[in-house]
Amino acid sequence: MKKRLFTPGPISVPEDVLLEMAKPIIHHRTPEFLQIAQQAVEGLKYFFQTKNDVFIIAGSGTAAMEASVVNLLSPGDKALVISGGKFGERFVELIKTYNCEPVVIESGWGNPVDLRLIEDTLNNQPEIKAVFATLVETSTGTSYDIKGIGEIVSRKPETVFVVDGISGLGAVECRTDQWNIDALVSGSQKALSLPPGISFISISEKAWTKINNSKMPRYYLNLKKYKKAMEKFDFPFTMAVGLVVGLRKSLENIKQEGIENLWQIHRRRALAVKNAMASIGLNLFSKSPSDAVTAIVLPEGIDGEKFCSDMRKDFGMSVAGGQDKLKGKVIRISHFGYQDEFDTIAVIAGIELMLNKYGYKVEPGTGVREAMKVLFSI
Ligand code: PMP
């Protein structure tokens, strides 16, 4: 059976990237590797839409999230977190772990955030040193107004704006410099179409001032070490050589496609799934659905966990279940990674078949038809 990954990371990796990574491993302190790293970092700047420094960290996305906290804050600092799901909550946990004080604006799972609340909080508590937000909250499939938040934070010269773009970057519009993002975090196993294992962080001039003055203890994630090494396109510690080789290839593909086209492709896939689900009577969980991940509410009485494991067993399709309070209630489909229009059709067909198996009667092809209209403009 053919295996298809629709999980919001890890995702399927394109053959040309897999073949690059299958080449013999080279040493990480050689001119050959440093040139690959240089090209990868230049590609990342395009991917991030930034002229700022971008660093590669060997570690999953959470490592880069942790890097933002330990470099930009000092113990005791107050930081505002906009949280509406599992990964917003992760920022809160990280901030507490390092003895800083989170001030949380809870948007509610699946809801967008009220920008006036952010502005009022920053006006009332000028001691807030950083604002943390998420581009796409993977647990709910929700997009946040990062541009709007960035505008507000940019008016505060002492406050930096940190964004978790792990799920969204490359799938939805995000312009680091234009949107005043001081630190943008991302990971390899999402829209970059790579295996998991490396993460990224961009740092603005404003953020460097914070880093240089920070009193937080840190070692592996000390970005000053990364900056020094990056002068020669080197890394302070042994880099994940194979993944960086794959990264260079993947970024080359993205550059060729064009980042705006990539956003458009994801928009079309997400719309196809949304219309397909509406046609069979299923709702999306999010009130501000993203083009990166779609969370679909299952009909009452269907166990999401079992639904996902049967999708895998019966059709070879991996979709994700719900997390925490959404466990068993939703399924989540990613639109990033090595997928094409026919994969989107396949997952919709799989969902229709599985719903019928569970007694929720759907005329086969109803959702597929709606999706085809979007995907193929028919
Ligand atoms: N933030 C978001 C938005 C994510 O989707 C994820 C991973 N699903 C993470 C953070 C954590 O990344 P990782 O699992 O790579 O550490």
- Same domain, yes or no, for 99 and 236? yes
| Same domain? 293 vs 210 | no
Pocket of ligand 1 (CB under 6 A): 9, 60-62, 87, 134, 138, 164, 166-167, 187, 196
* Single residue among 225, 256, 287 that ends a domain in this structure: 256
Write down which residue in 256, 286, 301 finishes a domain. 256
* pLDDT > 90? residue 36: yes
Q: What is the mean pLDDT of residues 227-231?
A: 97
pLDDT digits (tens, 9 = 90+) for 311-361: 999 999 999 999 999 999 999 999 999 999 999 999 999 999 999 999 999
* Ligand 1 centroid from CA 243, angstroms: 18
What pLDDT is attached to residue 46? Answer: 98
Looking from the CA of residue 168, the nearest atom of ligand 1 is 3
Length of the chain: 378
Side-chain half-sphere exposure of 223, counting CA atoms within 13 A: 31
Q: Which domain CATH number covers 181?
A: 3.40.640.10
Mutate to test the pocket of ligand 1, among 56, 66, 87, 132 (most ligand atoms within 8 A of CB): 87
Across 46-59, average pLDDT: 98
How much distance in Å is there from the Cα of 337 to the middle of ligand 1? 15
Q: Does 182 share its domain with 266?
A: no
User: In the prediction, which pLDDT does 279 show?
Assistant: 98
Best residue among 134, 166, 323 to mutate for probing ligand 1's pocket (most ligand atoms within 8 Å of CB) is 166
Asked if residue 286 and residue 242 are part of one domain, the reply reads: no
**Are 14 and 253 within 8 A, CB to CB?**
yes
229 and 275 part of one domain = no
The per-residue pLDDT for 44 is 98
pLDDT band at 58 (very low <50, low <70, confident <90, very high): very high
- 177 and 272 co-located in one domain: no
Atom of ligand 1 nearest to the CA of 187: 15
Question: How many domains does the chain fold into?
Answer: 2
Domain extent, residue 148, equals: 15-256
Model confidence at 295, pLDDT cuts 50, 70, 90, reads very high
272 and 145 part of one domain: no
Positive/negative CA dihedral, 358, 360, 363, 368? negative
Return the pLDDT at 10.
97
Q: Tell me which amino acid residue 72 is.
A: L
Asked whether the predicted pLDDT for residue 259 surpasses 90, the reply is: yes
Put the strands of the sheet holding 160-164 in their side by side order. Answer: 53-58, 198-203, 183-187, 160-164, 128-134, 78-83, 101-106
208 and 87, same domain (yes or no): yes
Q: Are residues 202 and 335 in the same domain?
A: no
Distance 62 CA to ligand 1 centre (A): 6
Q: In the structure, what pLDDT confidence band is assigned to residue 378 with cuts at 50, 70 and 90?
A: confident
Q: What is the pLDDT of residue 322?
A: 98
In the annotated binding site for substrate, the residues are 332
**Do 190 and 339 fall within a single domain?**
no
Q: What is the Å distance from ligand 1's center to 40 Cα?
A: 21
Based on the domain organization, do 219 and 313 belong to the same domain? no
Token pair 């920070």 in the structure block, residue: 214
- For residue 137, give the ligand 1 atom closest to its CA: 3
Does pLDDT of 377 surpass 90? no
Atom from ligand 1 closest to the CA of residue 9? 8
Of 20, 1, 7, 14, nearest in space to 246 by CA = 20
What are 124-155's pLDDT values in tens digits? Answer: 999 999 999 999 999 999 999 999 999 999 99
pLDDT over 90 (residue 84): yes
Kindly give the number of the ligand 1 atom that is closest to the alpha carbon of 199.
15
Residues 143 and 183 in one domain: yes
**Å from CA of 83 to ligand 1 middle:** 14
The residue from 224, 256, 288 where one domain ends is 256
Q: What is the 3-state secondary structure (H, E, C) of the chain?
A: CCCEECCCCCCCCCHHHHHHHCCCCCCCCCHHHHHHHHHHHHHHHHHHCCCCEEEEEECCHHHHHHHHHHHHCCCCCEEEEEECCHHHHHHHHHHHHCCCEEEEEECCCCCCCCHHHHHHHHHHCCCEEEEEEECEECCCCEECCHHHHHHHHHCCCCCEEEEECCCCECCECCCCCCCCCCEEEEECCCCCCCCCCEEEEEECHHHHHHHHHCCCCCCCCCHHHHHHHHCCCCCCCCCCHHHHHHHHHHHHHHHHHCHHHHHHHHHHHHHHHHHHHHHCCCCECCCCECCCEEEEECCCCCCHHHHHHHHHHHHCEECEECCHHHCCCEEEEECCCCCCHHHHHHHHHHHHHHHHHCCCCCCCCHHHHHHHHHHHCC
Percent over 90 (pLDDT), the chain: 99
- Mean pLDDT across the chain: 98
Ligand 1 centroid, distance to 1 Cα (angstroms): 29
Residue 304 predicted with pLDDT over 90: yes
- 164-222 pLDDT per residue, tens: 999 999 999 999 999 999 999 999 999 999 999 999 999 999 999 999 999 999 999 99
